[in-house]
């Protein structure tokens, strides 16, 4: 009878990992919708200022002190 408990604990661990990831995706979508950032013409990526601003709003962020 301990097997269902282990499955439930595993699902909780997965949810704890996935939930912040989904929040980050929602943050990204909201940022793009509201800020309407311009993508670089050659590579089609966000600029350093937009990347820096977006990074500061994420759960899984890179430790940076300024756009670079």
In-domain check, residue 67: no
In-domain check, residue 13: yes
Distance from C-alpha of 43 to C-alpha of 66, rounded to nearest angstrom: 22
How many CB atoms neighbour CB 46 within 10 A? 20
The whole domain housing 29 covers: 2-56
pLDDT of residue 10: 86
In-domain check, residue 31: yes
In-domain check, residue 8: yes
The pLDDT confidence band at residue 6, using thresholds 50, 70 and 90, is confident
For the entire predicted model, the pTM comes to 0.78
Distance from C-alpha of 21 to C-alpha of 60, rounded to nearest angstrom: 7
> What CA–CA distances, in Å, run from 25 to 5, 45, 54?
30, 16, 11
Total structural domains within the chain = 1
Please tell me whether residue 34 adopts helix, strand or coil conformation: helix
pLDDT: is 58 or 1 the higher one? 58
In-domain check, residue 61: no
Mean pLDDT value of segment 42-59: 96
In-domain check, residue 24: yes
């Amino acid at each position: 009878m301990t097997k269902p408990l282990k499955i439930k604990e595993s699902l909780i661990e997965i949810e704890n990992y996935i939930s912040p990831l989904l929040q980050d995706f929602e943050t990204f979508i909201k940022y793009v919708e509201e800020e309407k950032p311009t993508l670089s013409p050659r590579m089609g990526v966000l600029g350093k200022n937009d990347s820096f601003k977006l990074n500061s709003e994420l759960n899984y962020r890179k430790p940076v002190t300024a756009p670079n």
